[in-house]
Amino acid sequence: MTDIIKELEDRGYIEQLTHDEEIRELFKKESVSFYIGIDPTANSMHIGHFVALMVASRLQKAGHRPIILMGGGTATIGDPSGRTDMRQMLTREQLDSNVAEIKKQAERFVSFEGDNAAIIVNNADWLLDLKYIDFMKEIGSQFTMSKMLAQECYKNRLETGLTFFEMGYLLLQSYDFLYLHKKYNCKLQIGGNDQWSNIIGGVELIRKLDSNEAYGLTFKLLTTADGKKMGKTAKGALWLNPERTSPYEFYQYWRNIGDTEVEKVLSLLTYLPTEEVKRLSSLKDAEINEAKKIAAYEITKLIHGEEEAKKAAEAAEALFGGNKNTDNMPTTELSSRNISILDAMIEAKLVSSKGQAKDLINQGGISLNDEKITDIKYVLSEKDFKEGYAIIQKGKKVFHKIV
RNA sequence: GGGCAGGUGGUCGAGUGGUUAAUGGCACCAGACUGUAAAUCUGGCCGCGAGAGCGUACGAUGGUUCGAAUCCAUCUCUGCCCA
């Protein structure tokens, strides 16, 4: 089998391995079942999950079997890692519906066909029926407080308040791994680097109770050059669900990344060959825009499919390249063509309040059909819809068609 | 159970009776410069209103006061210490 771990490493995915050599050997000699956990805390994944799916996808293509674990049970607790506050708890109903949505998205990345078909499991299926006393006896006895408290994520939380309830998260996640290990012979858990301590917990638990074939792998989190999380927008996270973040907006996000992010984004979020990634990211000055276009197209294609990616690319080309093709522009049908520009902007969801819309106009940030709007009381009329539509431009990059 | 310290806008964090819709950082949005980049500079960043202004907001509810995020009471939540 191919040395997939080496490939992942070359590609820049890997942050840490629990057992460097053993893992490399294992993946060379057999088809390995591995799992990745996803918390269904929203009805869509965001780009934070993207890298995880890419890793899972690559491992599967190399012949290994992905187990996608939906944290329907653990999400009721909330992972304390990397958080300063306790997560808001969700109801069972919300969680169930989120799980269903997220499943659909995961299906774009991993295949459910063939010898190493991926499987999806929900830890609610086994966690919810646990008996407390039995669990504490069997699992709880394997963990020492001193070790848990020494972990960075708990240390921080210790100062702001950490409940026993939340500490249980580590035990549950470790138990998940043990469960999957026994039931599906799952040997590796992968996760973002913030999951390191949770992953080690599971690895050690299995090694104590069952066998020595348990490993962990963490991948890099998507951050900008200055260490901030990528994927923040005015509307919050960059979602994979097209209703939350349209393919066009999604494309634009990647089209607009900083030069320093190009290489990371290309190598982590696309399947382009490594040489191509190198070539593209070494482009200088204005030429690097080509690399960004490719990155945006490829990434959008992965999430939203080729057709949507093409549309987004064409829409961008039309707007920024001079030709005024508006076919693929995000479009809103207004309640009336005789409303104020302010209301139109709100209906098109370009702004969240009239005050914001006014500020933008006052700052010269809004154009209608290429003409800068200067009057905040401007009212739309038929003459603005000469070709059957009008185009509102917010800033330099945001275009919206209204009909 | 007792004592102490806290709960401020998306976030972090100032503010201890009026000049506080509340300093500042971060995030985000826009303008200038550019390459739909970065850095930098400028403006914006609760809602409504063209504006003056109005409404709502500093854990919750009452109260004191001409006036409260700021004082008092009760409740609630969090942290620390003692039991």
* A325 Cβ nearer than 7 Å to chain B strand: no
Does A96 fall in a domain?
Answer: yes
Do residues A290 and A391 share a domain?
Answer: no
Do residues A345 and A314 share a domain?
Answer: no
Q: What is the CATH number of the domain that holds A146?
A: 3.40.50.620
pLDDT attached to residue A77: 57
* A282 Cβ nearer than 7 Å to chain B strand: no
Does A226 fall in a domain?
Answer: no
Does A115 fall in a domain?
Answer: yes
- Write out the residue range of the structural domain in which residue A110 sits: 4-219
Distance A343 CA to B71 C1' (A): 44
Last residue of some domain: A270, A297, A320?
Answer: A320
Q: What is the CATH number of the domain that holds A350?
A: 3.10.290.10
Q: What is the CATH number of the domain that holds A302?
A: 1.10.240.10
pLDDT attached to residue A84: 37
Average model confidence (pLDDT) across chain A: 84
Do residues A166 and A238 share a domain?
Answer: no
* A345 Cβ nearer than 7 Å to chain B strand: no
Do residues A275 and A173 share a domain?
Answer: no
Q: What are phi and psi of A254, to 5 degrees?
A: -75, -30
Do residues A146 and A27 share a domain?
Answer: yes
* A394 Cβ nearer than 7 Å to chain B strand: yes
Last residue of some domain: A320, A348, A375?
Answer: A320
ipTM, 2 dp: 0.81
pLDDT digits (tens, 9 = 90+) for A167-209: 788 889 999 999 999 999 999 999 888 788 889 999 999 999 9
* A236 Cβ nearer than 7 Å to chain B strand: no
Does A183 fall in a domain?
Answer: yes
| CB burial of residue A194 (10 Å; 0-12, 13-18, 19+) | middle
Do residues A269 and A183 share a domain?
Answer: no
pTM of this structure: 0.83
Chain A 26-85 contacts with nucleic strand B (CB below 7 A): 84-85
Q: Within 7 A of a protein CB, which nucleotides of strand B?
A: 11-12, 27-32, 34-39, 43-51, 78-80
Distance A73 CA to B17 C1' (A): 50
Do residues A157 and A82 share a domain?
Answer: yes
Distance A39 CA to B75 C1' (A): 35
Nearest nucleotide, CA A353 to C1': B47
Do residues A30 and A107 share a domain?
Answer: yes
Do residues A362 and A240 share a domain?
Answer: no
Do residues A284 and A363 share a domain?
Answer: no
Do residues A65 and A149 share a domain?
Answer: yes
Does A227 fall in a domain?
Answer: no
* A158 Cβ nearer than 7 Å to chain B strand: yes
pLDDT attached to residue A228: 65
Residues across chain A: 403
Distance A199 CA to B69 C1' (A): 44
* A223 Cβ nearer than 7 Å to chain B strand: no
Do residues A271 and A381 share a domain?
Answer: no
Chain A 174-213 contacts with nucleic strand B (CB below 7 A): none
- The low-confidence residues of chain A, meaning pLDDT below 70, are 42, 75-92, 152-153, 155-161, 224-236, 322-326
Does A326 fall in a domain?
Answer: no
Give chain A's domain count: 3
pLDDT digits (tens, 9 = 90+) for A323-354: 566 677 788 888 888 888 998 998 888 888 88
Does A114 fall in a domain?
Answer: yes
Does A325 fall in a domain?
Answer: no
Six token digits for residue A115: 């010898």
pLDDT attached to residue A24: 95
Distance A353 CA to B44 C1' (A): 13
